[in-house]
C-alpha cells in the first residue's frame, strides 16, 4: 500500500474520534515531537495491531505488516487505526460486537463509531464543539441523526485551538 494511502487511512481513522470529542490529531513533523509513533512490524501472533501506552507519551502503535491490508476485506486498516487510537485515548475493549472497541475483528460490522464508543469517549473528553468564524466567534451545534448519538457538524474542516481542545501528534 502506498505511503500516501496509509496516511489517508490514518487521518480518517483519527478523524472518527475528532468528530465527537475535542481532540485533534495532526501529523508530527518528526518522531521527536510525536505523541504516537506508528510502525508496521512483523508479528509472531495473529494480532492485527496493538498499542503500548506508557505512563507518559509517546505511545507506540504497532500494525501487523504481514496482514494483507489491501486484498483481504476482513482487515480494514482505517478501522484498526481508529480502534488502536481508542486505546490511546483511554478506552478499553467493549463487550458489544457492534462497537469499534470490541476486542475481536467482526467481519461485516457497521463501520465507524458505535453509540457506546461515542458515549465512552465523551465521558472522558467531553463533547466536541465546532467553532465558526461568522461575525464574531460562536459555537456551532451538531446535527444529529434521529434516535442516535451519531452527530456531525457542517464546519468539520475548521481547525481551532483553544484551552478546551487537545492535540495529539502521530508519526509513521
Most confidently predicted of 24-28, 38-42, 100-104, 158-162: 100-104
Res. 135 pLDDT band, cuts 50 70 90:
very low
149 pLDDT above the threshold of 70: no
Domain boundaries, the chain: 3-171
Q: What pLDDT, on the 0 to 100 scale, is given for residue 102?
A: 93
Interatomic CA distance for residues 85 and 61, integer angstroms: 9
Q: What pLDDT, on the 0 to 100 scale, is given for residue 169?
A: 62
Q: What pLDDT, on the 0 to 100 scale, is given for residue 164?
A: 47
61 annotated as belonging to a binding site for a ligand: no
Catalytic residues: 84
Q: Is it true that domain 3-171 has CATH number 3.40.390.10?
A: yes
114 alpha-carbon distance from chain centroid: 13
101 annotated as belonging to a binding site for a ligand: yes
62 annotated as belonging to a binding site for a ligand: yes
Q: Sort strands 59-64 and 49-52 into parallel, antiparallel or unpaired.
A: antiparallel
87 annotated as belonging to a binding site for a ligand: yes
In terms of Cβ atoms closer than 10 Å to its own Cβ (0-12, 13-18, 19+), residue 147 is exposed
Task: Give mean pLDDT, residues 107-114.
Answer: 84
Task: Give mean pLDDT, residues 63-88.
Answer: 85
Joined together, the cell numbers standing for residue 92 give: 478499553
Amino acid at each position: 500500500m502506498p505511503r500516501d494511502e496509509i496516511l489517508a487511512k490514518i487521518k480518517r481513522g483519527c478523524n472518527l474520534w475528532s468528530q465527537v470529542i475535542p481532540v485533534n490529531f495532526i501529523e508530527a513533523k518528526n518522531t521527536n515531537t510525536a505523541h504516537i509513533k506508528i510502525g508496521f512490524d512483523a508479528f509472531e501472533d495473529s494480532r492485527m495491531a496493538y498499542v503500548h501506552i506508557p505512563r507518559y507519551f509517546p505511545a507506540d502503535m504497532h500494525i501487523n505488516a504481514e496482514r494483507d491490508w489491501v486484498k483481504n476485506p476482513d482487515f480494514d486498516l482505517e478501522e484498526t487505526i481508529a480502534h488502536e487510537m481508542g486505546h490511546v485515548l483511554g478506552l478499553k475493549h467493549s463487550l458489544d460486537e457492534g462497537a469499534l472497541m470490541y476486542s475481536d475483528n467482526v467481519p461485516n460490522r457497521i463501520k465507524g463509531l458505535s453509540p457506546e464508543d461515542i458515549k465512552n469517549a465523551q465521558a472522558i473528553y467531553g463533547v466536541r464543539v465546532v467553532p465558526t468564524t461568522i461575525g464574531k466567534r460562536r459555537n456551532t451545534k451538531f446535527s444529529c441523526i434521529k434516535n442516535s448519538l451519531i452527530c456531525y457538524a457542517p464546519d468539520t474542516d475548521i481547525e481551532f485551538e483553544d484551552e478546551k481542545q487537545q492535540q495529539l501528534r502521530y508519526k509513521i
